[in-house]
Amino acid sequence: MLEEARALEVRNLTKSYGATKALAGASFSVGTGGAHALLGENGAGKSTAIKLLSGLIRPDSGTISIHGTEVELREPRDAHRHGVQTAFQELTLAPNLTVLENMVLAYEPTRLFGQVDRRAARRTVERHFEQLRLTDLNLRADVRDLSLNQRQRIEIARALMRNPKVLFLDEATSALAGRDMEWLGEIIRELKTRGVTIVMITHKMAEVRGYCEHVTVLRNGHDVGTFETSAVTDEELVEKIIGRSLDATFPTKLKAASSEKPLLALKSVTTEQRLADCSFELRRGEILGVAGLQGMGQNELFMALAGATPIVGGTVEVEGKATLYASPRQAIDLGIAFVPEERKTAGLFLGLSGQDNIAASVLKKMTKLGFIDRRKEAAEVAEMMDVVQIDKRALYTSTGSFSGGNQQKMVLAKALLTRPRILLLFDPCRGVDVGTKHEIYMLMNAFTEQGGSVLLYSSETPELVNLCNRVIVLYGGRVVEIVSDDRGELSETMIMRAALGNVPHARPRTVAEGVS
């Protein structure tokens, strides 16, 4: 077995973005044939590894070998030449081209004068779709008109059409469910019999157990190890992924003050996309969790409450009074502060200093006759920096040069400086280090202890279970379940079951409906 060339061998791979080390010397190998899972927290370096192995970016140092030969992947075509294909999570289809054009893109069959032979292309793709049992796709449709799960399947189908020896599935299952998952499962089985090597990145333990013989765990840009799936338990894997056992991470939960009237009440709130007829209440001093699969309306819910996405139906009441606020400014003035999902594109001005960033939402309070009161500004920002524990260097250094954890703290500081009574936190711990996570948990606790309320969405269900007083579960844009900690029913299985739509009174709207 040792003599046989490994399908993939990675040695000491490093890649840095500014101050952040996405990969800090990771080494692992994948045997030929079969499926292999690549696990790790957000920010552990999985996506960077896939991008490096697909030729999208180039490593700072380290080597990559494919089937025994050391290769240099300068562009995706180099990876293709070595038989490596990737179905990406951020889909790589051109929205303005048709399904057919996307399928053959970059490798179109040509005839005289380099003209694309559309007839040949059509024949090939039709045959390929038939083999894959993809029957619901119109080759002439523009990709931008298709639903997320259709696009996801095209992405996978295209990678397959290029006859890979090694196939990466980069969270390719995130938009697939039910029947489509079975479809993918069958394909994976077929590929295995043909001796194709599959590397899956996934967050779902069931997929690891269902498809993969081996699993490699990454943490903080390092490899933790490669294991036989049958030889490790789920608990062991989780511990390897987060670096310690779960229980130690979370602070003790506070009891929410049983309050008379809710701080925030939503009644049948509807947005243009996804969120439909959403009602719930947020109580004083409570951490209310929001759970749901991707695209179930959580993003729209937070954006709408932050004043950034229009609410087209229903009402929002703050302290019992109906409001019509329609901009982030007006939300902030009502005491609602928002920590968005993407700190780099929505949370921070990467080119400005920490001080400019943290003060951005309260500039008016720092202004006298149009002039900024610098002394007051610096004092208040510095005070808030103490609260979230960031180095004072951040006052004048541009935020782009800080690590993910510190950046997130600055976004939090900006939100807290507005002195909000409601904090909207959208996945605040995504891609931050464990230490920072703990600090963010403590901050949330301190905030609610003083009477503030938190609405928290997290892509990691354990966070919801361990931090929240109650969790609302979204499915198809509405609240299908409210799980309360008081009644002792708050558990991961409880949340997941509701999130998957297994609730009797849920009337699901599919993702496809939301898009088209």
Partner 1 sequence: MFAALPEGVKVYLRKNRSVIVAAILYMAIFLLVNGISADAFSYFNLKTTVDTGGTLALAAMGQSLVILTGGFDLSAGAVISLVNVFVGSMMTDSIGNQVLVGLLGVAIGGAVGGVNGFFVSYLRMQPIVVTLAMLFIVQGLALLILPTPGGYVSQDFMNFLSGGAISNVLPSSVIVMAVVISLWLLIKNSRFGLAVYAVGSDEAAAMAAGIRARGVKFAAYVLAGCFYGVAGVFLSAQSGGSDPLVGQPMLLQIFAAVVLGGTALGGGRGGAIGSAIGAYLLMLFINILLIFNLPAYLAPIADGLVLVLAVLVGMIGARDSFIRNIADVIRRCRGAVSSRGRAPVAFAGRTLRNGSLQNAAVAPKIRWIDRRREDVRSALPAYIAFVLVVIATWFYIGSLNSGYIHSLLVLSAFLGILAFGQTAVVLSGGLDLSVPWLITLAGALFAGWAGGSDQALVWVVPLVLVCGAAIGVVNGLGIAVLGLPPIVMTLAANGILQGITLFYTQGSSTGLAPQTASWLTNGALFGVAPLIWFFVAFAVVGTILLTSTHLGRRIYAVGNSPVVADLSGINVRPTLITVYAISGFCAALVGILLVGFNGASNLGLGADYLLPSIAVVVAGGVLITGGRGHYLGVIGGVLLLIALQILITGTMLPDAARSIIFGLVLLGALMALRQRHAA
Position 12 contacts partner 1 (CB under 8 A): no
**Residue closer to partner 1 (CB basis): 35 or 93:** 93
Q: Which residues make beta-bridge pairs with 215?
A: 37, 227
**Residue closer to partner 1 (CB basis): 241 or 395:** 395
What is d(CA 285, CA 282) in angstroms, rounded to the nearest whole number?
Answer: 9
**Residue closer to partner 1 (CB basis): 291 or 424:** 424
Amino acid in position 342: E
Which of 353, 401, 491, 510 touches partner 1 (CB under 8 A)?
353
Q: Judged by CB under 8 A, which stretch of 188-196, 252-260, 324-332, 478-486 contacts partner 1?
A: 324-332
Burial label for 402, CB within 10 Å (0-12, 13-18, 19+), is buried
Q: Binders of partner 1 among 372-411, rule CB under 8 A?
A: 372, 374-376, 378-380, 382-383, 386-387, 392, 395-396, 398
Reading the block at residue 446, the tokens are 């301190």
**Residue closer to partner 1 (CB basis): 350 or 482:** 350
Considering only CA atoms, which of 403, 411, 395, 389 is closest in space to residue 345? 411
Position 57 contacts partner 1 (CB under 8 A): no
Q: Judged by CB under 8 A, which stretch of 62-70, 202-210, 338-346, 487-495 contacts partner 1?
A: 338-346
330 near 316, Cβ under 8 Å? Answer: no
Q: Binders of partner 1 among 130-149, rule CB under 8 A?
A: 140
Q: Binders of partner 1 among 304-323, rule CB under 8 A?
A: 306-308, 310, 323
Position 414 contacts partner 1 (CB under 8 A): yes
Which residues have CB under 8 Å from 410's CB, separation 6+?
348, 354, 357, 358, 388, 390, 394, 399, 402
Reading the block at residue 179, the tokens are 């029947």
Q: How far apart are CB 323 and partner 1 at their closest, in Å? A: 7
Position 257 contacts partner 1 (CB under 8 A): no
What is d(CA 270, CA 474) in angstroms, rounded to the nearest whole number?
Answer: 13
Q: Binders of partner 1 among 156-185, rule CB under 8 A?
A: 158
In three-state secondary structure terms, 93 is: coil
Position 120 contacts partner 1 (CB under 8 A): no
156 near 187, Cβ under 8 Å? Answer: yes
Q: How far apart are CB 479 and partner 1 at their closest, in Å? A: 25
Which of 56, 238, 246, 503 touches partner 1 (CB under 8 A)?
56
Q: Binders of partner 1 among 452-491, rule CB under 8 A?
A: 452
Q: Judged by CB under 8 A, which stretch of 27-35, 175-183, 300-308, 468-476 contacts partner 1?
A: 300-308
Which of 76, 83, 243, 313 touches partner 1 (CB under 8 A)?
76
Q: How many residues bind partner 1 (CB under 8 A)?
A: 94
In three-state secondary structure terms, 21 is: strand
Reading the block at residue 420, the tokens are 């909000």
Which residues have CB under 8 Å from 304's CB, separation 6+?
269, 271, 275, 310, 311
Q: How far apart are CB 51 and partner 1 at their closest, in Å? A: 9
Position 419 contacts partner 1 (CB under 8 A): yes
Position 248 contacts partner 1 (CB under 8 A): no
Q: How far apart are CB 353 and partner 1 at their closest, in Å? A: 7
Q: Say how many C-beta atoms besides its own lie within 10 A of residue 202's C-beta.
A: 21
Which of 62, 314, 328, 462 touches partner 1 (CB under 8 A)?
328
Position 252 contacts partner 1 (CB under 8 A): no
Amino acid in position 408: Q
Position 58 contacts partner 1 (CB under 8 A): no
Considering only CA atoms, which of 470, 471, 411, 465 is closest in space to residue 443? 411
430 near 41, Cβ under 8 Å? Answer: no
Amino acid in position 229: T
Position 4 contacts partner 1 (CB under 8 A): no
